[in-house]
């Protein structure tokens, strides 16, 4: 968790090595600040970092087990985050694992009439400077982990739950899995139920929004040709909507089905769903929706209560900060949860480039 200087612009310019005399002429080359600048150069999207292996170590701790990657579902990466991933050198991996939708459509729940549509594909790249991807979450995690594993200055710790941490003017001490780790900076990217957030600001229960989401993937070969267009499609109906799009190069269709409900509030990625209940929720909807539901494997159907939190006025406290759902959980309606977390990591890296003091850098967050 070594914090150093990031000298990368958001648009993608990367500086491999600093020239202290040229880039920081006001600094004494022999000062501690100058030595710190020389030692630490890094950029990060929360998982991937570059630096000098002999001086800089970034520890990344996952509470997820390796075999928990596969059961996950699709995710949408809009240009505001795909440009960051391209900047980190992941463009070819995203091309390999991602799916490039041609556009978005809103359809009537019963008649299938197109209510609205917009172009993506080349049009999105031309307009925003980066593409719009659909990708399986497991594939995204793998390419990030693979990229991180290739960096000598990154240590990955799987199945690692942070139990406690403390900080002072000199660093952060983290206790996890009966071990202690020291670093300059701790970033809590541990989701809506963040233990890091609770330790900083006190525990506060997330608020149930009155919506639940069904999640499943359907093998494309089980569907009649033309049922699913090569785009992100949202079917809108009374108090419900049904979203589907391709992942894994079109091999599977990712389905997210949101229903307004009261009473059931379990917030979990792995809560099993009941296929009969899902069919009842979307009874009477268009035949395309019925075909998708009929081809869902109930063993791979999950039910998820949607929660959020009140906005925070401050995310960082001294040498500890938060990113993603830990500080600003979002509902899936705009498909921006992962995108904003990836943006957060680039912003944190940019803030760390403002000042060599971690405390002063995090004031900007």
**Of residues 122, 105, 123, the one with CA closest to residue 114:** 105
Residue 245 catalytic?
yes
d(CA 172, CA 2): 10
Q: Is 193 exposed, middle or buried (0-12, 13-18, 19+ CB in 10 A)?
A: middle
Token pair of 150 as six digits: 């290739």
| Beta strand pairing call for 186-188 and 320-322 | parallel
- Residue tagged active-site, from 47, 62, 132, 245: 245
Contact 118, 103 (CB under 8 A): yes
Assigned token pair, 315: 């995310």
Q: Are 216 and 300 in contact (CB under 8 A)?
A: yes
* Cα–Cα–Cα angle for 328, 194, 186, rounded to 5 degrees: 95
Say how many CA atoms lie within 13 Å of 83 toward its Cβ. Answer: 18
Q: Are 104 and 134 a contacting pair, CB within 8 Å?
A: no
Q: Which residues are catalytic?
A: 245
């Amino acid at each position: 968790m070594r914090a150093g200087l990031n000298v990368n612009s958001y648009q993608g310019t990367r500086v491999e090595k600093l020239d202290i005399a040229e880039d920081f002429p006001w600094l004494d080359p022999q000062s501690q600040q100058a030595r710190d600048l020389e030692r630490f150069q890094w950029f990060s999207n929360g998982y991937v970092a570059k630096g000098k292996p002999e001086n800089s170590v970034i520890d990344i701790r996952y509470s997820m087990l390796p075999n928990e990657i596969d059961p996950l579902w699709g995710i949408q990466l809009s240009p505001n985050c795909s440009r960051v991933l391209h900047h980190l050198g992941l463009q070819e991996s995203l091309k390999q694992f991602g799916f490039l939708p041609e556009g978005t459509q809103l359809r009537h729940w019963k008649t299938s009439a197109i209510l609205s549509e917009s172009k993506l594909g080349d049009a999105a790249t031309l307009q925003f400077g980066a593409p719009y991807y659909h990708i399986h979450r497991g594939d995204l995690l793998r390419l990030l982990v693979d990229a991180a594993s290739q960096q000598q200055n990154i240590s990955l710790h799987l199945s690692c739950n942070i139990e406690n941490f403390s900080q002072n003017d000199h660093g952060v001490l983290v206790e996890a899995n009966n071990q202690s780790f020291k670093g300059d900076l701790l970033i809590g990217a541990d989701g809506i139920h963040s233990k890091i957030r609770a330790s900083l600001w006190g525990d506060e229960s997330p608020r149930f929004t009155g919506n639940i989401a069904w999640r499943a993937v359907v093998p494309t070969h089980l569907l009649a040709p033309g049922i699913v267009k090569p785009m992100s499609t949202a079917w809108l109906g009374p108090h419900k909507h049904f979203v589907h799009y391709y992942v894994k190069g079109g091999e599977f269709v990712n389905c997210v089905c949101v229903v307004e409900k009261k009473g059931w509030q379990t917030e979990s990625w792995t809560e099993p769903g009941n296929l009969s209940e899902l069919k009842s929720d979307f009874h009477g909807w268009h035949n395309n929706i019925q075909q998708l539901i009929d081809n869902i494997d109930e063993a791979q159907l999950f039910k998820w209560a949607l929660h959020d939190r009140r906005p925070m006025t401050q995310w960082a406290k001294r040498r500890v900060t938060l990113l993603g759902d830990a500080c600003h959980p979002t509902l899936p309606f705009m498909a921006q949860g992962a995108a904003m977390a990836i943006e957060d990591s680039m912003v944190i890296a940019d803030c760390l480039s403002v000042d060599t003091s971690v405390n002063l850098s995090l004031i900007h967050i």
